[in-house]
Structure 1
């Protein structure tokens, strides 16, 4: 007999397999992995952008000072 968890849906008890909870956990792990990859890409782009901005600022300051 399969494990189920009863939930209320419009006043009726509905049997739902517990396997969905496991699939939800796997989906959450996949979403977290995707989020971490996106965050890592953003941080890398931010670092490169900061360096380029600093170089441009130094160049502009040197042009203005001369």
Structure 2
């Protein structure tokens, strides 16, 4: 599962972060650009970003990850 999150669990990553979960574990978190507090206001932009993220996704030893700079 991949996605952007706005929560209070990882404040060191800013107001918004990108997260990859694989086989029940979080395998990557990265700071992401905060766009808006309301999900519907960012849906179109994040759908475009999702396509870019999936295109940049790599698999290292069977685990998915995004290279540095690929998260928007």
TM-score bin (small chain)? under 0.3
Question: Which structure is higher in strand share?
Answer: 2
Question: Which structure is higher in helix share?
Answer: 1
Q: Which has the larger radius of gyration?
A: 1
What is the TM-score normalised by the length of structure 1?
A: 0.27
What is the TM-score normalised by the length of structure 2?
A: 0.25
